[in-house]
Every structure is written in C-alpha cells, then in structure tokens.
C-alpha cells in the first residue's frame, strides 16, 4: 500500500484566506449597504508596464520563427545571459557584486522559498518571525521540520516575535540555536524594513553559529528611505551565511506572469559542501526554467523605460499606502509600515481582537482587510491593509473607516 506524506495531515488547512473568503461571502449574501472594497489580499492590480509588454510581444514573435525559436534554456541557473546581466547590474547599483553562476532564475520566490528546503537536512531547527508569511512555515511543516501544530504554534519551530516594542524586527533567540532563519524585509505582513545594523546582528549570529539566513526581499523595490539596504549582501559577512530571494511579482506586476530569482553565493558552504552546487543540482533536476518570453519581459524591467514605468506603478501603490496610513492615524489608530512597503500594519482599538476588528470593518465599512492573527500569534491585535487597490477605492475605504471610528 502507498503511504502518503503524513506531514500534510498536520497542516491546519489553509486557514486564513479561506476563512476571510467565507466571512466575506456570507456578508455579501446579506446585501451589504455599500460595495465592498478589498484591501486584503497581496496581489497587484496595475497592468504590466508598456516596455514589458512590448518585450514580451517581440519575444513571442521570435518564438514563432524557426531562426529565432528557443527550446530548453541550457544556461547556468536557467538564466539567459541578457537577464543575468540585467540582474547583476541592479545589484551593482547597491554596491553588490554577484557572480554569473550565483543567480538562479525561477517562476517565483514562493516556489524558491519552499523548494530551498530540499538542500537542507530535515533535522535542521527552523526559525520564523511571528507574524510571518505562511509559506515558510507550511513548507517546513510538509518537510517534517516543524513538528506538530498545537492549535497556535508548531512544536519544533523557533518563533521570533516581531512586536511594536522591538520595532517589528526579531531579537536574537535565547534558547535553541536555529539552523535556518527566515527573514523578510521589507516585511509582509508588518510593512517594516530592516536597517543594516539590524541585519548585521543576524549575519554575525549566523556566521558565528553556522546558521543560514533565508532572506526574502520580494518588496525591495518599495524601499523609499535612504540607508535601508535593498539586499542582505550590502551587509558585511552575508556572503557566507545568506541566500537571497527576489521576485518580479510585486516590483513589476509579474504575479500572473511569473519570474523571480534567487542568489546563492559560492562562498556559502556547510559541512564542506557548496550550497550553490546543491541548489544548482536541485534546480537542474527538478526544474526546466522560465520561458524565454518571460525572461525577455523581466529583462525589460531593467531598461530605462522599464525602470521609469515600474517606478511609476510603485509610486502609485506607495501613495495608496500614505493615504491609508494618514487616514487611519487620523482615525486614532496606531499604524506601522506603509513607507518602505505596500503593507500597513494597524493596531486594533484597545481591547478589540483582530478577527473582531476585521468583522467590524467588513460589516460597518464594507472594507475587507486581513486579521493579523492569521499571520501568527504575535499578529493578534493587528490588521493588515494592502496598498495594491485602486487609488479611488482606497481613498473611499479610508474615508469610510475614518467615519466609522
């Protein structure tokens, strides 16, 4: 008889977004007094930049001609030279030198964050921030690294609380030393971005203990404040302890187009083995790359026109973030994030739980948010709003909330 991976049965079953969707559906069925405005889910809404669409169309046309047709991408890291050079150039802009064979192009940072576990033993101790992007937790649970879910937490994970008191950046753990440490900056869900000094404490810790930092910088393009690092490799010593994940999803509206990249430095070794070589072996075996058309689209993000156009889109979202932040502050709420990220992390009113506040905003303002508790126990007492909506709808949503509170 076939045995299934029992670890899957331990998963609490994609609780957060299905539960939100259930509540929204139930409320919609009662004929809400106003149209619903959704500031809940983290997906972009603006179309692809014209430079990107043009590059895709041209590449599509090339695929339709025998002389320019392409089959499997045989390049290192599944990255065509043109895209690799563009990525290297963007790293150079923040003073970071990445070698040719340290870049691996993929269909998403979500898959890479999940798949990276393949190259690490199931015995490693995993640390995650609390609140956290659920992918890090669930993929480790599937692999058998998380233990059992006790209704609130996984028994074998090290939770690093990120609270207003620590500026939503985790303190070094006191007890068990984690081997794999997930850090996401700018952060989903809290919308805060780590400083170089903050990252340095973890880089030094990881180097001292032989741990690996899995650094998710999917929102790097939203950084507006000077001095905030765009890459963990801006921090001295990160080359021997960190893997970095980046994506075109939020930076250039590729959530439906699919392209990302992961940097695995060649200086990264554990037990005398190159992690770059292991990841290369893993990808070469289980992955056949991102389409030529999409890699051309991604390349176009780095051209002067592409940069200007995608920057405009990001400015549009960041303006929404400002509107949400200042509106909620005006309504008397304590608000974090929204400056270097498209997420606003708002404290619920005194004594109101995050699901209750979610329900109040849904029923009284017809605005859909995300309850912070869904991202982990330390998210209780917060809600997350996203800046990915339309400008008018966002303003309307904020006005309704201000009026309500």
Ligand X SMILES: *Cc1c(COP(=O)(O)O)cnc(C)c1O
Binding-site residues from annotation: 15, 42, 72, 109-110, 133, 188, 219, 247-249, 258, 288, 384
Helix-helix angle 304-330:391-404, to 10 degrees: 10
Question: Residue 21's closest CA among 36, 5, 35?
Answer: 36
Tell me the closest approach of the beta carbon of residue 77 to ligand X, in angstroms.
Answer: 16
Could you give the CA distance from residue 2 to residue 308 in angstroms, rounded to a whole number? 54
User: Which residue sits closest to ligand X, CB atoms considered?
Assistant: 108
Tell me the closest approach of the beta carbon of residue 49 to ligand X, in angstroms.
Answer: 17
Asked if residues 217 and 244 have their Cβ atoms less than 8 Å apart, the reply is yes
Question: What are the residues binding ligand X (CB under 6 A)?
Answer: 42, 108-110, 133, 184, 188, 216, 218, 247, 249-250, 255, 260
Tell me the closest approach of the beta carbon of residue 110 to ligand X, in angstroms.
Answer: 3
Residue whose CB is less far from ligand X, 228 or 401: 228
Asked if residues 259 and 269 have their Cβ atoms less than 8 Å apart, the reply is no
Q: Which residues are annotated as a binding site for substrate?
A: 15, 42, 110, 133, 188, 288, 384
Residue whose CB is less far from ligand X, 189 or 327: 189
Instruction: Mention every residue, 6+ apart, whose C-beta is less than 8 A from residue 317.
Output: 44, 46, 222, 342, 387, 388
Could you give the CA distance from residue 303 to residue 125 in angstroms, rounded to a whole number? 41
Tell me the closest approach of the beta carbon of residue 216 to ligand X, in angstroms.
Answer: 5
Asked if residues 336 and 372 have their Cβ atoms less than 8 Å apart, the reply is no
Residue whose CB is less far from ligand X, 38 or 250: 250
Residue whose CB is less far from ligand X, 212 or 365: 212
Residue whose CB is less far from ligand X, 327 or 342: 342
What sign for the dihedral angle of Cα 86, 90, 95, 97? negative
Tell me the closest approach of the beta carbon of residue 84 to ligand X, in angstroms.
Answer: 18
Omega cis (within 30) before 189: yes
Residue whose CB is less far from ligand X, 212 or 366: 212
Asked if residues 333 and 325 have their Cβ atoms less than 8 Å apart, the reply is no
Residue 22 buriedness (CB in 10 A; 0-12 / 13-18 / 19+): exposed
Tell me the closest approach of the beta carbon of residue 188 to ligand X, in angstroms.
Answer: 4
Question: Residue 141's closest CA among 4, 279, 286, 12?
Answer: 12
Residue whose CB is less far from ligand X, 218 or 335: 218
Q: Which residues are annotated as a binding site for pyridoxal 5'-phosphate?
A: 72, 109-110, 133, 188, 219, 247-249, 258, 288
Tell me the closest approach of the beta carbon of residue 60 to ligand X, in angstroms.
Answer: 22
Could you give the CA distance from residue 318 to residue 326 in angstroms, rounded to a whole number? 12
């Amino acid at each position: 008889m076939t045995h299934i991976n029992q670890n899957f049965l331990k998963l609490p079953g994609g609780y957060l977004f299905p539960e939100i969707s259930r509540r929204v559906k139930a409320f919609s069925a009662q004929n809400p007094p106003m149209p619903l405005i959704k500031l809940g889910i983290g997906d972009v809404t603006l179309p692809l930049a014209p430079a990107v669409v043009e590059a895709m169309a041209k590449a599509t046309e090339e695929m339709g001609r025998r002389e320019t047709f392409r089959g499997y991408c045989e390049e290192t890291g599944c990255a065509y030279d043109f895209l690799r050079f563009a990525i290297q150039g963007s790293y150079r802009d923040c003073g970071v030198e990445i070698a040719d064979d340290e870049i691996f192009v993929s269909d998403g940072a979500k898959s890479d964050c999940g798949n990276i576990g393949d190259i690490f033993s199931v015995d490693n101790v995993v640390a995650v921030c609390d609140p956290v992007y659920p992918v890090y937790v669930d993929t480790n649970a599937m692999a058998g690294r998380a233990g059992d879910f006790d209704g609130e937490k996984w028994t074998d994970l090290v939770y690093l609380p990120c609270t207003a008191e620590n500026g939503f950046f985790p303190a070094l753990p006191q007890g068990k030393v984690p081997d794999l440490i997930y850090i996401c900056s700018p952060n989903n869900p809290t919308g805060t971005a780590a400083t170089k000094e903050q990252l340095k404490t973890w880089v030094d810790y990881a180097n001292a203990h032989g741990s690996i930092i899995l650094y998710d910088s999917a929102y790097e393009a939203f950084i507006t404040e000077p001095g905030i690092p765009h890459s963990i490799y801006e921090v001295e010593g990160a080359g021997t302890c960190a893997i970095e994940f980046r994506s075109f999803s939020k930076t250039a509206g590729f959530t439906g187009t699919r392209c990302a990249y992961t940097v695995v430095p060649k200086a990264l070794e554990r037990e005398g083995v190159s992690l770059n070589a292991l990841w290369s072996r893993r990808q070469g075996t289980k992955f056949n790359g991102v389409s030529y058309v999409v890699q051309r689209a991604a390349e176009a993000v780095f051209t002067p026109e592409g940069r200007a156009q995608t920057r405009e889109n990001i400015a549009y979202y960041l303006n929404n973030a400002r509107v949400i932040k200042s509106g909620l502050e005006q309504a008397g709420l304590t608000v974090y994030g929204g400056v270097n990220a498209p997420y606003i992390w708002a404290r619920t009113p005194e004594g109101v739980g995050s699901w209750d506040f979610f329900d109040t905003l849904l029923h009284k303002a017809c605005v859909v948010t995300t309850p912070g508790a869904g991202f982990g126990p330390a998210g209780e007492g917060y809600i997350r709003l996203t800046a990915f909506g339309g400008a008018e709808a966002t303003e309307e949503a904020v006005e309704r909330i201000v009026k309500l509170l």
